[in-house]
Chains A and B, each alone.
Chain A
Amino acid sequence: MIDKEEIFKQMREAIEAYDSEAAVKAARDAIDSGIDPLEAVEKGFAKPIRELGEAFDRMEIFLPQLMLGSDAMKAGMEVLEEAIKSKGGEIKNKGIVVIGTVEGDIHDIGKTVVGALLQANGYQVHDLGVEVPAARFIEAAGVHRADIIAMSALLSTTMLHQRDTIELLKNKGLRDKYFVIIGGAPVTPQWADEIGADGYARGAFEAVMFLDGNRGRWAG
């Protein structure tokens, strides 16, 4: 008789210790013991990662812990996903996101926080880094079969590249394929409207809430 609770506990502890290897091992143990992977996701990983996000908001933990914790979950989830796929099933992540800071702009912290928190909340996130040209957003979105393109701009001048990326999407006939959200200190809801983005969020929590509230607006 396997001890399910013990394995769930190990999964939780792996996230709390920001330990990717332990998360992978605990996820394997779960599969090997015949635990339903979906139950493992819910009881093993979901709760600690939610708590991590909340602790970050209260400034009890900081950026490295948030990033490492969400990386640990990502590593463990890959194991569970494989198991589900091999049974012909599918884990529904909430959506695939490519995120980056636009061309000419090196401010990386805001988009890193947003990316880590989205990942912690069940989105599959591909971080393209900083100074990402319009064409690369679009190329990467194709490669990763993304649902959502998320662009950060911290300068009132580089905001222009958010507009240009959307224009390029239109020119390529790809605008309807992606849900586009934008953010960064100078970005406003008005600017999002003006350039035809699908949404805007002021901070990382708002970004999660906004996307959660708009599921169904991309194919997923």
Chain B
Amino acid sequence: MNFKEMARRAESGPMMEAKDFLIKKVASNVMQLTGKYDIRWDGKTLVNLDDDLADRCWQAGRELLLSSGIYSMNSRRVIELEADEVDNALRFAPSWLVLGQGKDQVTIYHRNVEDRRLPFVFGGPFNADVSENMFVKLNEAFAQERIIDSLLFPGYLKQLDGQIIRPTSGLASRAAVLYGQWSREAVRRAGRPGMPITGHAVMGLNEIACTNEEWGLRSTDPRAMVLISELQVDDVTLTRLAYYIAYGCPIYIAFTPLIGGYGGGPEGTAIVAVASFIASVMLGGEIVHIGPQHIKFKQQTNQHSLFLASLVNQAVARNSHIIATTSHTTSARPGSEQYPYEFTALVLSCVTGGSNITGPRPAEPLGFNNVSPLMARLFAEVAHAGASMTREEAAPVVEKLYQRYKDNIDLEKTPRGKPFEELYDLESLQPDPEHRALYERVKEELKGLGIPM
């Protein structure tokens, strides 16, 4: 199975309306598989300790993909898959990859449940709206954090030359070129010219224009594509896949199953998530990113999402050698105390479950530049510490953290935080004393909770 065959089936598979695919295939198959494999959540567990449940969840997800296929949105056709095709693709998926160039190269690998090797850290603006004049500085501030392995989604350019960027416009292509140039400039300034830049922040097809070996994103930089929930793919993604596979870039595929959506509750959505992991590999994904969403909370540190992330990562870690990473989306914003509590809870459940980490970011950033490189450092430090914890050790810590913020995750009431300009000194690119004090204080507290920082 290769991309050529997937692209062919996207044009020749059986035709179907999207709504029928989502309801009659995905939703109805999930309901049946939830019963068949007895996938259940007890309503309280945040970190899964049940290996058999994880294995059943893997089986159910594999079967969901085989019974549903992948929907090609624009051609309205279903890409159908056979069991041996799926099993072969999983067998030949890479279990490690080298990213970046020269002495800045880094290796990312598949991790097992409770793997003591350090997780790979993708850190950066993660698609927050970033203003033109702050783009390079802010990314340099992320890149100078040595603990971050790859710069992540260097920012969403909403405006350029005083104009809001209309997707697919000439201005959007110009933005893509600048995105490449400025991201490269940022890692150069930080003294890491070959640091991998995981990119996709400029929309749609225009995005391809940021590719250039000298000044832009290179063949050694992971390029991110996104599946459409649930189990759907569109022409833009297929087109970018065709190009980046040919260009030789490591392929980073993200998917965002929605808890409360077509998969139902956390149990059903966990099955959809496993199916999406495998679908991502079928489409050529070499690093697969899970970013589960929640229909009500719209973030990832609520109890449903914590449980799902822990269960699904364990299912994938135990039953495949997919290189997995999980995104971290919080309610609270950078600059608040709640922000690190939230991401720490999710980091511990993911890292002990075998995942690498991507993030963190607030679900609803306030205006431009609502990011903190210092908090990304703390995020990475927690993840490194988490690698020496077992699930049993992590579970009570996650529970304590969850209790602390759980009544404050409503996006309208959650702490507002501050933009980069108010958290950092823009000349020295160092966090200001207040922000540093917050970091020191929270880090001490996390140690106190038993995280071996």
Contact = CB atoms under 8 A, between A and B. Distances in A.
Chain A complexes with chain B: yes
Interface of A: 59, 62-64, 67-68, 103-106, 108-109, 113, 129, 155-161, 185
A64 B168 contact: no
Given A62-B261, A62-B264, A68-B23, A157 B296 contact: no
Contact of B27 (A64, A106, A160): A64
A70 B264 CA distance: 17
B294 to A, nearest CB: 9
Contacts of A64: 22-23, 27-28, 262, 264
B234 A185 contact: no
B203 interface: yes
29 contacts: A59-B265, A59-B295, A59-B296, A62-B260, A62-B263, A63-B258, A63-B261, A63-B295, A64-B22, A64-B27, A64-B262, A104-B166, A104-B167, A104-B203, A106-B234, A109-B261, A109-B295, A113-B295, A129-B18, A155-B167, A155-B203, A156-B129, A156-B156, A157-B164, A157-B165, A157-B166, A157-B172, A160-B164, A185-B364
B235 to A, nearest CB: 10
Interface residues of B, number: 33
A76 to B, nearest CB: 18
Nearest to A103: B167
Contacts of B204: 104
Contacts of B295: 59, 62-63, 109, 113
Nearest to A158: B167
B158 interface: yes
A129 B295 CA distance: 19
Interface in B233-262: 234, 258, 260-262
Nearest to A159: B164
A103 B172 CA distance: 15
A113 B298 CA distance: 14
B153 to A, nearest CB: 14
Contact of B23 (A67, A108, A109): A67
Nearest to A202: B412
Interface of B: 18-19, 22-23, 27-28, 73, 129, 156, 158, 164-168, 172, 203-204, 228-229, 234, 258, 260-265, 268, 295-296, 298, 364
Given A157-B166, A160-B166, A59 B260 contact: yes
Contacts of B18: 129
Contacts of B27: 63-64
Contacts of B364: 185
Contact of A106 (B19, B228, B260, B261): B228
Contacts of B258: 63, 109
B409 to A, nearest CB: 14
B158 A157 contact: yes
A125 to B, nearest CB: 13
A155 B152 CA distance: 19
Contacts of A185: 298, 364
A165 B165 CA distance: 17
Given A106-B73, A157-B164, 18 more contacts: A59-B260, A62-B261, A62-B263, A62-B264, A63-B27, A67-B19, A67-B23, A68-B23, A104-B203, A104-B204, A113-B295, A129-B18, A155-B167, A155-B203, A156-B129, A156-B156, A157-B167, A157-B203
Contacts of A68: 23
A63 B228 contact: no
A129 B168 CA distance: 19
A153 to B, nearest CB: 11
Given A63-B295, A185-B364, A104 B262 contact: no
A67 B295 CA distance: 15
B62 to A, nearest CB: 21
A109 B229 contact: yes
A17 B202 CA distance: 44
A139 B68 CA distance: 34
A213 B394 CA distance: 49
Contacts of A106: 73, 228, 234
A117 B268 CA distance: 22
Nearest to B163: A160
A68 B19 CA distance: 11
Contacts of B23: 64, 67-68
A63 B262 contact: yes
A129 B234 CA distance: 14
Given A155-B167, A156-B156, A157-B158, A63 B203 contact: no
Closest 9 CB pairs of A and B: A104-B167, A64-B27, A62-B264, A63-B261, A156-B158, A64-B23, A157-B165, A62-B260, A157-B167
A104 B202 CA distance: 12
Contacts of B158: 156-157
A185 B299 CA distance: 13
Nearest to A163: B164
A155 B127 CA distance: 11
B410 to A, nearest CB: 12
A8 to B, nearest CB: 27
B163 to A, nearest CB: 10
A129 B19 CA distance: 10
B38 to A, nearest CB: 19
A171 to B, nearest CB: 18
